[in-house]
Chain A
């Protein structure tokens, strides 16, 4: 399973990292998110899906 955060859409709501801290990390400076690695770590798939469905900006996509 692979995820990507669209940096143009992300506005730093931080919900993804709150829900799936092993999948997403936030910039110290502005709280904007990136996937720690494109490949979601084993066992984190449910949390990653929950993060996707909780993003207020719909900025996270499942790419495979």
Chain B
């Protein structure tokens, strides 16, 4: 660069902020940092992680996220295109050579994948699964209901999303234990932790199982998201297995930890605000939808996404150069006072709640309908069966950092014991598997419209 270029570069990066979302301090000072960035630099250049832009303001995040023509999600793992690094900042140490499914692709491939999977994930498709979600939730609560003690993460919010995700994929639901721990542990275990080796080994085991499932479905078709991928026409061809494994891993990663995080945070907040909990339970017909959106806004489970600028451009008053890295902070955009009055307060009846917790633009979370439905069904049963639960702050463990997922590891609680309503989890999962197989529940909504039927 000439001196003149350097000066120009300095000028376009004049709004600077030292932004490191992977530190515990970022979690502890999230509100203060967010307020400061909104007030002084809604788009800032940060020197961290080889240098990248950070969009924190709501309008800025909105304008950027919707500028698909200037943004790329591509993760060029084989370095055959422009060498872009996908959606993680910094680039992940683990699984460096794997593409994160269609979330790390651009159109048209990205669009073709979504078209193949949408009929399994639309609101109409998810509605068919409600009896199954309710039954798995019932069994999880029954395992604990007589004891008066539960860990809402381990005993409920980890299990239901995992079981449902596997059922939708066409993977036997009793395999949820193979998938559950590695998926969560990979998010909350820091790369330098002594536990990382064990987590990596569990991840390998999960990968082998997943690959086995892909081969099985290819050989003997059975309905589900795997089947959709095996037959998908992506830009005129069916992609190689390694790419499909990346897509399946994206569906699992998206389906598990995020809904767990949302549910745990909402349950914790409602324990701290028992009058609001009673009100939500009483007025659920009018409040449950808005409360769900408010918990999504306030606790933003997937905190943001990385992008690469794909062409020189000026957006929201900032000049970007091709190749610049950019962090779109959904979590900070969700706290912008310009859009959300009293942004740091939870208001269960909030109106005009145009939060970006499922992302914005063409990459909107494809599982958003799954997340909402599973969250609501779990929460309703907790409100009905454990209405006086009290979470134990001593035993509660939040993720140490919120660089990727704003999640929770443990949320123990006590409540007045009650009677069981049915069989335990293992027996219930056997029954659910039978229903999935017999009723072909994992078919797309285009070929099967009816809701799941459970035997009386």
Contact = CB atoms under 8 A, between A and B. Distances in A.
B352 interface: yes
Contacts of B351: 50, 53-54
A54 B353 contact: yes
Contact of B355 (A11, A26, A56): A56
A57 interface: yes
Interface in A16-57: 17-19, 26-31, 50, 53-57
B358 interface: yes
Interface string B358-385: 1011101000110000000000000000
Interface residues of B, number: 28
A51 to B, nearest CB: 10
Interface residues of A, number: 22
B122 A31 contact: yes
Nearest to A14: B123
Contacts of B368: 12-14
Contact of A30 (B62, B66, B118, B353): B118
A57 B354 CA distance: 8
Contacts of A26: 122-124
Given A28-B445, A29-B446, A57 B361 contact: yes
Contact of A27 (B114, B122, B353, B356): B122
B355 A29 contact: no
Contacts of B449: 28
A29 to B, nearest CB: 5
A14 B292 CA distance: 13
B123 A56 contact: no
Given A12-B364, A56-B355, A29 B123 contact: no
A39 to B, nearest CB: 23
Nearest to A11: B364
Nearest to A55: B354
B289 interface: yes
Interface of B: 62, 66, 114-115, 118-119, 122-125, 289, 293, 351-356, 358, 360-362, 364, 368-369, 445-446, 449
12 contacts: A11-B364, A14-B369, A15-B354, A26-B122, A29-B445, A30-B115, A31-B124, A31-B369, A50-B352, A53-B351, A54-B293, A54-B352
Given A31-B122, A55-B354, A56-B355, 19 more contacts: A11-B361, A12-B118, A13-B358, A13-B368, A14-B123, A19-B289, A26-B122, A28-B445, A29-B122, A29-B445, A30-B114, A31-B124, A31-B369, A50-B351, A50-B352, A53-B351, A54-B351, A56-B354, A56-B360
